[in-house]
Amino acid sequence: SEAAGDRAVYAPWCPACQNLQPEWEKFAEWGEDLEVNIAKVDVTEQPGLSGRFIITALPTIYHCKDGEFRRYQGARTKTDFINFISDQEWKSIEPVSSWFGPSSFLMSSMSALFQLSMWIRHCHGYLTENVGIPAWGSYAVFALATLFSGLILGLMMVFLADCICPSKRHRPPQYPHSRKLAPESAQLLKKLDEEQEADEEDISDDETEGKEVSNRNSSPNTVRQRPVNPAATMDKS
């Protein structure tokens, strides 16, 4: 298993941290006997830890074992620290959730934001003290940089969104109600075909009737108009 360790997060300007320092150094002398790594971290030199561990008060003490972090909130004396490790009192403390653990993505992002804020602070100090730019000029520089970076990020997001989900003008037309209307349209087409066939049958019946009528009318006319042979009449006479 991973070796246990105690970490104290402090700041040099903190009075409570200064009061804890003698007891913490005495406790550190017992590290080898307790088989625990004891250390302290200055947040002024490591600002990312303030976001990674959500430091809201100084000093803050964490106990770490097997990748699990527990916050120590007991008395701050050497004896209490030793009993906390030797009597395994840390098992009675609920570990920090994996969502808010120092190695999680959320806390890593918070650490990056804290580091960015400290970098901006250093840049502001450099521009105002070393370069000689007034404070409002430094603020204007950061405002323009923020607008420019936001514009670049916005264009990148629009480009990615257009690549992942292309706009409707590039898509073929879709008819969401086509499936629902398909049976109705099929019935309508079927009715139209039946009506068309019925009309064709009526037209064919009318044509046949017209032909019969014309044949009847034409038969007597043909008899009436049949030419008479003059030779035959003369023989009879």
The model's pLDDT over 190-220, given as tens digits with 9 standing for 90+, comes to 777 777 777 666 665 656 655 555 555 544 4
Pairing of strands 68-72, 4-10: unpaired
Quick one: pLDDT at residue 81? 92
**More confidently predicted of 85 and 54:** 85
pTM value?
0.48
CB 58 within 8 A of CB 17: yes
Q: What is the mean pLDDT of residues 10-31?
A: 88
State whether residue 58 is helix, strand or coil.
Answer: coil
Sorting pLDDT into bands at 50, 70 and 90, what band is 24?
A: very high
What are the tokens at 149? 């970076």
What are the tokens at 134? 């007034």
Residues annotated as catalytic (active site), given as ranges: 14, 17
Sorting pLDDT into bands at 50, 70 and 90, what band is 163?
A: confident
Q: What is the mean pLDDT of residues 165-185?
A: 57
- Distance, CA of 219 to CA of 52 (rounded, Å): 113
CB atoms within 10 A of CB 82: 16
**More confidently predicted of 1 and 113:** 113
Give the Å distances, CA to CA, from 23 to 13, 17, 79, 164. Answer: 18, 10, 9, 58
What are the tokens at 67? 């990748």
Among 141, 2, 122, 140, CA closest to 69: 2
